[in-house]
Amino acid sequence: MIEAVARGQPQESGFVDRVGGRTHEARVATFLEFACWDHHTHGKGDHRMNDRAAQRLVTHRPEIARDSVYTAIVCGDIEEVRRILEERPDAAREPGGPRGWTPILYLAFTRFTYQPTLDNATELARMLLDRGANPNDYYMAGDARYSVLTGIAGEGEQDSPRQPYAAALFQLLLERGAEPFDIQVLYDTHFSGDMLWWLELVHAHTMNTDRRIAWDDPDWPMLDMGGYGSGARFLLETALKKRDLRLAEWLLAHGANPNAASARDPRLPKRSLYEEAMREGQVEMAELLACYGATRRPPVLDEEEQFLDACFRRDREAAQAHLQKHPEYLRSTRAMFAAAKRDRPDVIALLLDLGLPLEIEDRRKARALHEAAGSGARRAAQLLIERGAEIDPRDAIYNNTPFGWAAHFDDAGMLDFLSQYSCDVWHLAFCGYADRLREVLRS
């Protein structure tokens, strides 16, 4: 296409022929790969890009939608799916397409924001299930089992957006026999902490089945996370990390153990949940845990944690006393990164006044502005920039700027803010900041 433009030749025919591949089969495969996520797609920005690419493909080549039962399902073409299934009911269970999945997996993993898909997904699932589709179908992502429910819930390390119709589809799958205690769903949704929607569905469903007894053990072994802790510990710890009192109260009210033992994984906290809440300054969370029977025990802090505690209480005198004893804390990212992630510009200001370097970085070469950008901590990012932080440093793992970290999470507010300062032309272009891109290129 670029060569055609340079020669002044018509573009449209050549452009359309190259959308997704040179053959119909190649375009169909490309469409299904863009329209449905798997464990190789990472970041909301990439998911949005793939969705738009799939939309362009089906706009230029509408015949893609009726190529197969897989494309008809992804495109929400209910009449075509009905026709195929009436002619050949076995098509509801047959694997195929570029990923070798069954139709219900394509339906569960699609993130195609095409109106017929949004309108008809639940009815399409019902049609497939009525003809024998397996509600517990899955594919293997390495050694992880990515089930139909996993696809519906999304999120995970891939940061897949949740389907608008996820709750209705999840409920239908439970009614048709999907395993309610899906560990991959639990793991994937703990990143955002937005777990209550499916926990409520699973609890309500299992209360009407013989699986209801699973909730009687307060450690919730049906959701056991192995080295990451019991189901109750993992869930309550997630609520604590996300400062989500509503989730914590639901968990406790439904029997989760407020004294659940710490995880075996050596990287995870060994304190009680109550101690962790107090250590994080979450007094209301600690009181909630105590109301449901948690043992009240003040946390024992190591010396650097005492320094952090003084900083977050903005006790300058105590913080200075710790630094006199431990000047090496001025070379530690622990306090600065914690303040950036928690969006505490007041604490960042204190740390800078105490002598911590503005551009302190960890072994990954990530800096406080990276952490603020990746956590949606707008006030912290603003304070860092006002104090003169470098705008576009690159970390050593992803070779990404803070603006790139915000782009990974598709954080519109943070992107809007950082775009005023960043010269990261790749992400400015990718995220559509044309005016700022012009400024940067002019300079």
Is the domain of 296 the same as that of 323?
A: no
- 13 found inside a domain: yes
What is the distance between the alpha carbons of residues 181 and 185, in angstroms, rounded to a whole number?
Answer: 8
Chain segment 248-282, per-residue pLDDT in tens: 999 999 999 999 999 888 888 889 999 999 988 89
- 426 found inside a domain: no
Q: What is the mean pLDDT of residues 159-177?
A: 93
Say what the pLDDT of residue 265 is: 86
As for how many domains the chain has, the answer is 3
Is the domain of 323 the same as that of 283?
A: no
Say what the pLDDT of residue 39 is: 80
- 170 found inside a domain: no
β-sheet bridge partners, residue 361: 367
CATH assignment at residue 223: 1.25.40
Is the domain of 293 the same as that of 330?
A: no
Chain segment 202-257, per-residue pLDDT in tens: 999 999 999 999 999 999 999 999 999 999 999 999 999 999 999 999 999 999 99
Is the domain of 18 the same as that of 107?
A: yes
Say what the pLDDT of residue 20 is: 66
Is the domain of 221 the same as that of 269?
A: yes
Q: What is the mean pLDDT of residues 172-185?
A: 97
CATH assignment at residue 345: 1.25.40.20
- 165 found inside a domain: no
Question: pLDDT at residue 18 above 60?
Answer: no
Question: pLDDT at residue 6 above 60?
Answer: no
The model's pTM: 0.80
| Mean model confidence pLDDT for the chain | 91
Domain that holds residue 334: 303-413
Q: How confident is the model at residue 5 (pLDDT cuts 50, 70, 90)?
A: very low
Where does 330-419 have alpha helices with state H?
334-341, 345-354, 368-374, 378-386, 402-408, 412-419
Is the domain of 278 the same as that of 308?
A: no
Question: pLDDT at residue 11 above 60?
Answer: no
What is the rounded radius of gyration, in angstroms, for the C-alpha atoms of the chain? Answer: 25
- 172 found inside a domain: no
- 442 found inside a domain: no
Is the domain of 291 the same as that of 308?
A: no
Is the domain of 291 the same as that of 325?
A: no
- 175 found inside a domain: no
